[in-house]
Structure 1
């Protein structure tokens, strides 16, 4: 569902410059309704002002609220250069919802599509369709699968940090506080997510380097309650578990709740990833030992800039820069 139709989400979005001509608005409303989208009609781009759509996943996740704020801030400073629409789905796994939004962008003949994909592989056919329709497509946050892209012969630029390096830094810091050969477990995001795998790989390398023992890995689906359930399971399986390294902060917060439930505060160290606003108090109290800030607001800004620069230079999809790295920083308790 479009954030433009949900002003209470992500801090509330400003009114976009929708087309006020009644007949045009009715046509767009009919089009979106036919695609099954409950959203305000979106404005097709004027000839000299490209339409940029940012498609998010899990609007419930505060990480994407920060990303939204970054996109809004950039647009407020450059509102004469482009039109901005921010859409998204509620759940991390709502692939079908994201595909509907992509189809709407194609039908409305928009110019630039930025997406944080719910699935790193399954979304690719819809994005290829968007590229073939003339949209410039840019991937951010959760990287699309390189092998799948190569098999289709398509270049979809990635804007984001090294998830491996960010997780490795968190793991190194957390594990330095433990005795050698301590037992550690990983709570991972979703099986179809490239960034989930990259973060777990970073954690694994930190575990091996610190001479610790990786006891198990459990899926936490990027959400708090599944993260809590995974942490409870892991700690019951391994009563002397010393650390839980989590693929994002939502799961880390769930893990912290589980640690408190089992009265193991101070005995099980927790690492997270994202540095969402709620982490400040948890880090200060050391209920969570460290996280990584991958600056989602900057990711949005860099992606918008890449899209606009490519559009203004009349670059084709294949001519666009393939990767734009954004910063990631360790945040300590």
Structure 2
């Protein structure tokens, strides 16, 4: 299934005024100066673009903030950033402060899907173009567009990949999730189970996988390790681990190694973090579904530039391309100098 990064139709005049450039390079290298993918019809040098991160305590969030900044600055806009520090009050205050400073574009990665609604609506009413990035917002919020990785499809692809790799072996899988109530995590694991079922129905005509255990790792390496220790203690028979991000999966793999577990465990996860890709190259890690900060930052800023140039035909929800990274293509994506 092919997902297009954007699929709206531009009016003819607008289409003639914008030039979309493509690159054969799958990821922006860390030491390469970013070039804008669009040519803006308008001078954006006086435009202030704000970004509000949920926190900067994880490498993914740091890389995402850098990706947004580099894309904003590539178009000549002025970049302003606020770190929510995991505190919804700080996000609200930071957004209000950026609106007061005269930002024309706000890109927000919400901590809480409901708590920011009134703040976002006030920004929109003040004439700010608001874009939602990576995390969900309640439908009652008024914003231009939202940009995500397609978590459900990524989960399905991971599940089908696991079935193909495990062949005739009985799948006893453990899942390490981020935190309860997180919509992205729910989509990943539901997609994963759907992919397992579809893959087995297609190849076996029946399903016989078991989700043996679920742990909670808080999206962090050390918490993933602790969750895996508990899982292995109660269920030493597991042979597949699906973690909802690479950080938890890498921690879980440490637990496997520290406990001296002899049985091979197939590790499958999400994000395409460079440490996970290195482990894939070493044959210690199975697959990671790409959730690229570079691609997220690129798409959301491109969408903002289109809006600033008069495009009012943006999709309400846009997805980055879904793909898997395993031993067959990891060389195309692994960059030890990457931010993430």
TM-score, length basis structure 2: 0.74
Say whether residues 1:280 and 2:277 are aligned partners: yes
Match of 1:203 in 2: 192
2:285 aligned with 1:292, yes or no? no
How far, CA to CA, are the matches of 1:270 and 1:47 in structure 2?
Answer: 45
Aligned to 2:337: none
* Deviation readout 1:299-322 (Å, 9 max, x if unpaired): 11211121222133285xxx7531
Q: Which residue of 2 aligns with 1:169?
A: 157
Which residue does 1:62 correspond to in 2?
59
2:74 counterpart of 1:85: no
Consecutive unaligned residues in structure 1, runs of 5 or more? 1-10, 12-45
- Once residues 153 and 63 of structure 1 are traced to their aligned partners in structure 2, the CA distance between those partners, rounded to angstroms, is 25
Residue pair 2:162, 2:196 contacting (<8 A) in 1 also = no
Distance 1:230 1:121, change over 3 A: farther
Shift of 1:130: 2.1
Displacement of 1:283 in angstroms is: 1.3
Give the corresponding residue for 2:11. Answer: none
What is the deviation of 1:177? Answer: 2.6
Question: Alpha-carbon deviation of 1:266?
Answer: 5.3
Q: 1:247: Cα distance to partner?
A: 0.6
* Bigger shift: residues 66-75 or 95-104: 66-75
User: Structure 1 residue 49: deviation in Å?
Assistant: 2.1
1:193 and 2:190 matched: no
If the length of structure 1 is used for normalisation, what is the TM-score?
0.75
Q: Residue 106 of structure 2 corresponds to which residue in structure 1?
A: 113
Q: 2:84 touches 2:94 (CA, 8 Å); kept in 1?
A: no
The superposition leaves residues 184-215 of structure 1 with CA deviations (integer Å, 9 ceiling, x where unpaired) of 12111122422111111111212333331112
SS of residue in 2 equivalent to 1:176: helix
- Equivalent in the alignment of 2:97: 104
What is the Cα deviation at residue 52 of structure 1? 0.6
**Any conservation in 2 of the 1:119–1:192 contact (CA below 8 Å)?**
no
Q: What is the DSSP-based 3-state SS (H/G/I as helix, E as strand, rest coil) of the residue aligned with 1:191?
A: coil
Q: CA RMSD in A?
A: 2.6
Contact 1:207 1:214 in 2 (8 A): no
Secondary structure, aligned partner of 2:274: coil
Asked if 2 retains the 8 angstrom alpha-carbon contact of 1:269 and 1:288, the reply is yes
Aligned length in residues: 278
Summarize deviations over 1:226-285 as a string: whole Å, max 9, x none: 211111112222110111101111111111111112222652221111111212221122
Deviations 1:131-169 (A, max 9, x none): 22322111111233xxx31xx273552112211111221
1:12-91 alignment, distance < 5 Å:
49-79=46-76, 82-90=77-85
| 1:48–1:176 distance in 2 versus 1, CA, 3 Å | closer
- Give SS of 2:271's match: coil
Aligned with 2:301 (options 258, 279, 304): 304
DSSP-derived class of the 1:278 partner: helix
Q: 1:239 corresponds to which residue?
A: 236
Name the counterpart of 2:203.
none
The answer to whether 1:331 aligns with 2:325 is yes
Q: Could you say what secondary structure the match of 2:289 adopts?
A: strand
Separation of aligned partners in 2, 1:119 and 1:206 = 28
